[in-house]
Amino acid sequence: MLTQARPHHERLWLATVDPTSSSDLGFLYGTLILRLEEPHTNISHTELPPWDKHVAFVAGRPYGLRHWIIQTPCFSKGVCYVSPQNEVGIYIIPQARREGIGTWTLAYLTARHSNLVANVAKTNLASFCFFARNGFVLEAELPTQFVFKGYHHVTAPQLRSSKQ
């Protein structure tokens, strides 16, 4: 039924990335591999790092504790982060797109982190539409990317559980 097309919202949560978890490291590495199949969506990710560099990168906690896996009871659906510069990044695995998971994630982050910034490759139409649709405002156009700014929202989906 069409009304059940987006059934996951109430069963999603963000789990803080655990750099000592082989499951987390493996999932994140998988997303890096998948991202190479969509080069038009990437600003800086152009090649797959070796596994040991990946492990060291995650262990270095580049986003502090603001690095999450988007989780359902059975599957990991994507990854997101908020950088120290307040840049937001969201990656949803291809099989889980257009189910509202990205929107849910962005609403959750926007409610908790003010002044988020999204850098969008000019070739990434989906991301452009996604941030515009979700209330982000186009602030600047750079040679290779658009810069969107988010504003604090007071309401957000409730999470089943969350570690931040």
Ligand X SMILES: CC(C)(COP(=O)(O)OP(=O)(O)OC[C@H]1O[C@@H](n2cnc3c(N)ncnc32)[C@H](O)[C@@H]1OP(=O)(O)O)[C@@H](O)C(=O)NCCC(=O)NCCS
Contact residues toward ligand X (CB under 6 A) are: 41, 89-92, 97-103, 118, 120, 124-127, 129-130, 133
Closest CA to 80 of 155, 15, 149: 15
Measured from the CB atom, the residue of 22 and 73 that comes closer to ligand X is 73
Rounded to a whole number of angstroms, the minimum distance from the CB of residue 127 to ligand X is: 4
Question: Is residue 59 classed as helix, strand or coil in its secondary structure?
Answer: helix
Rounded CA gap, 32 and 38, in Å?
10
Tell me how far, at minimum, the Cβ of 161 lies from ligand X, in Å: 20
Choice between 2 and 22, CB closer to ligand X: 2
In the three-class reduction of DSSP (H, G, I as helix; E, B as strand; rest coil), residue 113 is classed as coil
Between residues 19 and 89, which has the closer beta carbon with respect to ligand X?
Answer: 89
Least separation, in Å, of the C-beta of 81 and ligand X? 9
Nearer to ligand X, 41 or 162 (CB): 41
By beta-carbon proximity to ligand X, the closer residue of 13 and 130 is: 130
Least distance in Å: CB of 14 to ligand X?
14
Q: What is the DSSP letter of 87?
A: B
Which is nearest to 14 in space by CA: 71, 96, 92, 67?
A: 71
Distance CA 97, CA 117 (A): 22
Tell me the residue nearest to ligand X as measured from the CB: 102
Q: How far is the CB of 41 from ligand X (least distance, A)?
A: 4
Is residue 127 within 8 Å of residue 136, measured between CB atoms? Answer: no
